[in-house]
Amino acid sequence: MKLLTVILPNLLLFIILFVSISPLSNGFKEKTLAVGGIFPMSGSWAGGNACLPAVLMALEDVNNRTDILSEYKLEMSYDDSQCMPGLGTKVLYNLLYSKPPKLMVLSGCSIVSTFVAQAAKMWNLVVLAYGASSPALSNRQRFPTFFRTHPSATLHNPTRVKIFKRFGWTKIATIQDTQEVFQSTKEDLDKRVKAAGIHITVTQSFLTDPINAVRSLKRQDARIIVGLFYEDVARKVFCQAYKEKLYGKKYVWFLIGWYPDNWYKQKDDSINCTGEQLAEALEGHFTTEAVILHQDSSITDVGMTAKNFTTRLNEALNETDTSKVRGYPEAPLAYDAVWAMAFALNKTSIRLAEKNLTLEDFDYMNKDITDEIYSAMNSTKFLGVSGNVAFSSQGDRIAWTQIEQMINGTYHKLGYYDAVADNLTWFGKEKWKGGKIPQDKTVVVNSLRVVSPALYYSMCGVAFLGIIAGIICLVFNHLHRQRRIIAYSQPLVNSITCIGCMICLLCIFMVGLDGKFVPKHQYSTVCQVGAWILSIGFTLGYGSMFAKVWMVHQLTTARKKERKEWEIHVVIAVFLLFDVAILTVWQIMDPLQRKLQFFPLENPINTEDDIKLLPQLEHCHSEHLSVWLGVLFGYKSILLIFGIFLSYELRSVKLKQVNDSRFVAMGIYNVVVMCVITAPITLIIGNQQDASFAFISLAIILCSFLSMGLLFVPKMVEIKRNGVQQEQDNSGLTDSLVSREEEERHQRLLAENEQLKKQIADVEERIKDVNGKLQERARQRVLLSKEQKIQVQAELNESPRHNTDNKSCAEFNRLNSKKIRFCEEVEEVPNYPYPSPDRRQLSPRITRSEPFC
């Protein structure tokens, strides 16, 4: 009995205690409230694997609490969405159209939640997402009944910007899946980096296959790359990054941090890269993720510490390596989502009671109860296992972010960022592959392409020798100016040619002057001086030779046979004036300036540095360069063409008065040929400084050396061969080039030739007439009989006309012999310019007349 009195009260106390705190106590909760659950158990984010056990655990815990929803037991119907919007929507409809009505729906995975939340408003249904990060969901107009315990992905962006600034990166690239969740994250990132003075230089997005997007990143020299995609796509991206070598010491990748730790080791048939290859490509990448486990060891409002929760979850999952379980990081959010729902429904039931309503009265038509649930959710605040749970006006969670880096295949914490307080806690444990912070872009170093010194000095050396040779020629020309061979070759013109060649040779020194010798600001002066020197040098050198052949042509063709020496000088002066006029106008209106031509970037040799060389080539340029060159070259080309024509005409002429005209003609040929070859080739190889300098220099050298050589070497040889000759006074010869005696003879012959030409023309006219008649007769002969023909022939023989024809024939023969005499006389004059054309003119006529006579 005594034993009974001791045991009974204790037993009763035990029973009371057991009933109030044991899980069996929910047996007192006789009414049930139905909620729905949509869990992605596979697909892009298979977070349901860890979140569903966490939700079931939370439901049990809520139902075990007598102080929350004391009359109601929460029951959840759920299904798998595979993180596919279509399937997720189907699951929603199944939940909606199966009894009892669901007061709320839990959902995960942004792409499913977007569809579910958009549709749920039509059924006055509140949706609470435990695993949806899409910033697009923070839109009250579009999703009026949506809440989430998962922070928005925009939470990562301030953290990313903070890190960019920390490492001094101002140029970044992005690559993202075209899913709305990632597009909206990228849009938010755009705004934030812009505000921080950082530029997104490359943006790549892709629908299913990231191959081209990754290639494009590589091509556009992306260095700091933010990747926004689900983990299955991340494997594809990094497989391609591995193939494109878009990783290593030059690159830094920023990825989403909520992938499971071993995400890249998962077997994936959609890629042909091994886990090791992915690990190699991923080494050193950064991740950012929200801190979603309460960091404190205190007991939370849900009756346990975060650590207790983890232990219980691990037991429920029955998995030693929890990093392999999809959705493990989000499990606290799922657990807290159930508690948030319970707290809100609890508050709603109290408010509804005031209106004589109950939660059981909820149906999809009853907006009042939905409004109550919505407002209760809005004001729900508690400390959960994921930290402080509260909802902003957009229904978002606020949380810290943690930054991690993959070092030797495992994620290491680098720090935390509190965006609200703008406080970055950095542990300084980051590691860089190359031992230093990667650059956000390739450092481009300008590299001026200059003429190779060996080439420049050798060409200048030859040009210098040419100038010395020119001086020797000038001295020789002056010393022997009284000698017949010099005196009859226009010594002053020879000197001008020589000076012109020397000026052209001097130009080689200017053409090769580039940034190696001349500072930038003086390069324009070099251009202008070079243009003047080359133009004047050419005009003096070539123009004087041209003037000489022109003079010879005048002497041999024109009626006025007396030419003064100064006329040559006038011709040269006119050319020079032309040059000066064009160059002056060019100089004043549109002077030559330094212009850089850029070439594709090149890799430097013998350096490990992350730099590229930008080859540059200096050019002389003016705005209307083509016009000026067109004018200058146009008139010089006319001179060249005319010069070569005159040279051809005078190829066999040898005048005593201008004894070197054939050598001058050869010099002109040479200049023309060199110009014709050099001009187009230098246009083609203008980008190759060495080749074009060598070509121009060689052309100038060849022209100058050959012109001076042709002009002076024969004279030097002649003078050397004849030794010391008697000096002759040539003053009279230089004054008047053609003697009176020769002139008169020449004029006589010309007049006689003209007269003969007229007579021949008369005779030919008559021959034509007779020929016509003969043809007429021959025709008639065919018609007549043989006798008639003989008769007609006889008549013809006796006819007076025949006598006339015979007379014509005799006249023609007389003229003809006179003409032959003239030709013979002309032949006697050696290399007289007319014989060739006149012979061509006369000979056929003589030949034609012979058969007739």
Which residues form the interface with ligand ABU (CB under 6 A)? 45, 47, 109-110, 131-134, 150, 181, 258, 330
- Count Cβ atoms below 10 Å from residue 157 Cβ, excluding itself: 24
- The phi and psi torsions of 417 (rounded to 5 degrees) equal -135, 125
Q: Kindly tell me which of 150 and 236 has the beta carbon lying closer to ligand ABU.
A: 150
Question: Least Å distance between CB 150 and ligand ABU?
Answer: 6
Angstrom distance (rounded) from CA 477 to CA 213: 75
Angstrom distance (rounded) from CA 562 to CA 554: 9
Question: Least Å distance between CB 264 and ligand ABU?
Answer: 17
Angstrom distance (rounded) from CA 290 to CA 417: 9
What contacts 181, CB < 8 A, 6 or more positions away? Answer: 110, 111, 114, 132, 133, 134, 135, 136, 153
- Count Cβ atoms below 10 Å from residue 532 Cβ, excluding itself: 19
Angstrom distance (rounded) from CA 229 to CA 241: 14
Q: Kindly tell me which of 184 and 816 has the beta carbon lying closer to ligand ABU.
A: 184
Number of alpha carbons in the 13 Å side-chain half-sphere of residue 109: 32
Question: Least Å distance between CB 386 and ligand ABU?
Answer: 12
Query: Residue for token digits 């009763």?
Result: 12
Angstrom distance (rounded) from CA 541 to CA 544: 6
Query: Residue for token digits 């100016």?
Result: 481
Question: Least Å distance between CB 153 and ligand ABU?
Answer: 7
Question: Least Å distance between CB 399 and ligand ABU?
Answer: 12
Choose among 147, 135, 129: nearest CA to 88: 129
Q: Kindly tell me which of 132 and 161 has the beta carbon lying closer to ligand ABU.
A: 132
Find the angle CA(568)-CA(569)-CA(571) to the nearest 5 degrees: 65
Is 625 within 8 Å of 635 (Cβ atoms)?
no
Q: Kindly tell me which of 134 and 370 has the beta carbon lying closer to ligand ABU.
A: 134
Tokens for 205, please give them.
């997005």
Q: Kindly tell me which of 110 and 692 has the beta carbon lying closer to ligand ABU.
A: 110
Choose among 401, 408, 165, 168: nearest CA to 284: 408
Question: Least Å distance between CB 689 and ligand ABU?
Answer: 58
Q: Kindly tell me which of 332 and 470 has the beta carbon lying closer to ligand ABU.
A: 332
Question: Least Å distance between CB 180 and ligand ABU?
Answer: 10
Is 307 within 8 Å of 397 (Cβ atoms)?
no
Q: Which residues pair with 204 in a beta bridge?
A: 175
Measured CA distances, 785 to 791, 792, 793 (Å): 10, 10, 12
Is 616 within 8 Å of 595 (Cβ atoms)?
no
Q: Kindly tell me which of 124 and 149 has the beta carbon lying closer to ligand ABU.
A: 149
Choose among 374, 299, 289: nearest CA to 340: 374
Choose among 120, 205, 150: nearest CA to 40: 150
Name the residue type at position 496. I
Question: Least Å distance between CB 113 and ligand ABU?
Answer: 7
Q: Kindly tell me which of 133 and 204 has the beta carbon lying closer to ligand ABU.
A: 133
Q: Kindly tell me which of 398 and 576 has the beta carbon lying closer to ligand ABU.
A: 398
Question: Least Å distance between CB 74 and ligand ABU?
Answer: 24
Question: Least Å distance between CB 618 and ligand ABU?
Answer: 56
Q: Kindly tell me which of 149 and 816 has the beta carbon lying closer to ligand ABU.
A: 149
Measured CA distances, 729 to 40, 494, 718, 726, 733 (Å): 118, 19, 19, 10, 8
Query: Residue for token digits 């810290």?
Result: 400
For β-strands 410-418 and 401-407, DSSP reports them as antiparallel
Choose among 106, 105, 108, 104: nearest CA to 83: 108
Question: Least Å distance between CB 365 and ligand ABU?
Answer: 31
Q: Kindly tell me which of 324 and 757 has the beta carbon lying closer to ligand ABU.
A: 324
Question: How far, rounded to the nearest angstrom, does the alpha carbon of residue 107 sit from its chain's CA centroid?
Answer: 48
Question: Least Å distance between CB 129 and ligand ABU?
Answer: 8
Q: Kindly tell me which of 181 and 696 has the beta carbon lying closer to ligand ABU.
A: 181
Angstrom distance (rounded) from CA 81 to CA 363: 24
Question: Least Å distance between CB 114 and ligand ABU?
Answer: 9
Check whether the bond before 837 is cis (ω within 30° of 0): no
Q: Kindly tell me which of 287 and 349 has the beta carbon lying closer to ligand ABU.
A: 287
Tokens for 289, please give them.
């993720």
Q: Kindly tell me which of 47 and 709 has the beta carbon lying closer to ligand ABU.
A: 47
Question: Least Å distance between CB 176 and ligand ABU?
Answer: 13
Question: Least Å distance between CB 156 and ligand ABU?
Answer: 11
- The phi and psi torsions of 529 (rounded to 5 degrees) equal -60, -40
Q: Kindly tell me which of 81 and 647 has the beta carbon lying closer to ligand ABU.
A: 81
Q: Supply the angle between the helices 625-649 and 520-557 in degrees, to the nearest 10.
A: 30
Question: Least Å distance between CB 109 and ligand ABU?
Answer: 4
Q: Within the chain, how many helices (H) and strands (E) appear?
A: 25, 18
DSSP string, 589-613: HS--EEEEEE---BPPSS--SSEEE
DSSP string, 710-771: HHHHHHHHHHHHH-S------HHHHH-SS-HHHHHHHHHHHHHHHHHHHHHHHHHHHHHHHH
Q: Kindly tell me which of 134 and 346 has the beta carbon lying closer to ligand ABU.
A: 134
Q: Kindly tell me which of 260 and 491 has the beta carbon lying closer to ligand ABU.
A: 260
What contacts 821, CB < 8 A, 6 or more positions away? Answer: none
For β-strands 423-426 and 443-448, DSSP reports them as unpaired
Q: Kindly tell me which of 259 and 309 has the beta carbon lying closer to ligand ABU.
A: 259
Question: Least Å distance between CB 334 and ligand ABU?
Answer: 11
